[in-house]
Structures are given as C-alpha cells and as structure tokens.
Homo-oligomer: A and B are copies of this chain.
Amino acid sequence: MNITIFNEYHPNEHTGKAEKNYPGGIHIALKSIFESEEYDVVTATQEQACNGLTDEILDNTDVLLWWSKNWDNELLNSVADKVVSRIREGMGAVFLHSAKNSKPFLRLTGTTSATAPVSWKEPGESERLFVVSPAHPIAEGIPSGYVIPNEEPYCEYFDIPKPDDIVFLGGFGNGMCIRAGVTFTRGAGKIFFFQPGHDSFPVYNDKVIRRIILNAVNWAKPVAKPAPIAEETKPEQTGFKARVKKLFK
C-alpha cells in the first residue's frame, strides 16, 4: 500500500515542545507507524514545490494522511482541488487534529469545522477515548476509555456533516466532549477524521494512538475497481421499440 503523509511543517514545529516531541516534524513520527514491508511511505511538506503533492505522488497514493494548522489558507487551490478529486475517485484520507480546517477537508464536507470555544492552558486536559462503534475496523484492538494524559480539549458543537460512523467519542475534564473519531465517504473515497494530536503533546508516539492511525489507514485503502460490465448485462435501451423487440424476440 502506498501512503503519503502530508505535514505543513510550519516553523513553529521546528522548535519548542513540538520539536521535542517530534524531532524532524510530525510527518517523521507518523511515518514510523508504517514500518512493515507492506507499506511504502512518502512524506510531503507545504514548502515543497506543489506543496509536495505533485500529480505523480498523488497518482501513486492509496491513502493520504494530513496534519496542518497554521498554513491552511496558503495551500494552493490547485492542490486542494486535486486532493479532493482523488479522494472522490477512491484515495483514502486520514485528517488529523487541526487538519479539520484544511481546504480539502472543508471542501469535502461542505461545513465550517468550527468547534465551541474552549479556554485551556498547558499542560492541557486528559482525554478519554470511548469506542462507540465496537464493530468498526478502526476500533480493532482499541480499549474503550483509553486515557490520553494531555491534549488540547475540543468541544461540541463540532460543525461537520452527520458522520457515516462515529468510531470514538472523546471526553475531557469539566464535561467537555467531542465526536473524536468520525468517518465519511465521498464517492469511492473513505475519510477518517481523528481529533487528538496537538503538537505540544507527544500523542502520536502513544502506541494506542498509533494503532488507531494504522487501523484507519488500512480501513481507508481503496476497494478494487469493478471489472467493466459485460455486454450482455449492459443497461438495455429504454425506448418503446426496444421493449417491444425484447418482448417478442
């Protein structure tokens, strides 16, 4: 499976807590989830030509992971359009954390992705992840009620379309909660949004979170295209003559 990991890799990520948690960038941490031989992984960052997402790369991508935060508005529209149409054609997509505000996600959902304003301070809040779709492949092996010690709290109302599936709810202290892991489909493409992942906390180094992302990528891989319909099963003509012909042949 060919995986492409897009990370904006804004200068903020080159220093401070983000750099300490994720030396070399979040994309490097995410890449290390897919060490098995069955995965072929490339990374892309926003300062690269074509935001790192050339036609060649997108054409060879089965599933795209996306982390972004500060540079969403600066993403090339042509790149956003291509990502959107590749997803509709079957490319899987996993949007992480603030990537809910990325151009491709917004164009696919038709909503604002806004969440309720929440005041918080470092070191954040602990978040408990509850499995609400235990039959879903993304929940495979994931204990319900798992605690992320420190995370940025996100709170409803979260302005997204009604998801196909809510795989996880996330509950924070003080009663705040959010649909934290949700799926959508657009055309032949499967989409997963996963809320945890503020860059000041080493969430993507947590083995349960890594398992969720691995599950999501496996779930999101495209299904094989159907073989063309054989001549004898093609839609028949629908006009009057064709019917009569059929009736009396």
Q: How far is the CA of A91 from the CA of B108 in the complex (A)?
A: 21
Q: Which residues of A in the span 149-192 have a Cβ within 8 Å of any Cβ on B?
A: 153, 155-159, 161-162, 164-166, 169-177, 179, 184-190
User: Given the complex, which residues of B lie within 8 Å of A176, measured CB to CB?
Assistant: 128, 171, 235, 238
**A147 at interface, CB cutoff 8 A:** yes
Contacts of A147 in B (CB 8 A): 175, 232-233
Which residues between 197 and 241 of chain A lie within 8 Å of chain B, taking CB atoms? 222-229, 232-240
Whether A49 sits at the interface, judged by CB under 8 Å, is no
* Complex Cα spacing A128 to B110, Å: 28
Determine the residue in chain B with the shortest Cβ distance to A230.
B143
Q: Is the interface of A mostly helix, strand, loop or mixed?
A: loop
This chain: how many copies in the complex?
4
Which of A4-12, A51-59, A117-125 lies at the interface with chain B? A117-125
Cβ–Cβ contact B133 & A238, under 8 A: no
Q: Does any Cβ of B come within 8 Å of A90's Cβ?
A: yes
Minimum CB–CB distance from A1 to chain B (whole Å) comes to 15
- Interface size of A as a range: 35 or more
Known: A135-B90, A235-B176. A130 touches B156 (CB 8 A): yes
Q: List 14 A-B contacts (CB under 8 A).
A: A116-B130, A116-B145, A119-B237, A132-B158, A134-B157, A134-B188, A135-B190, A139-B223, A140-B223, A141-B223, A143-B233, A156-B169, A173-B238, A244-B247
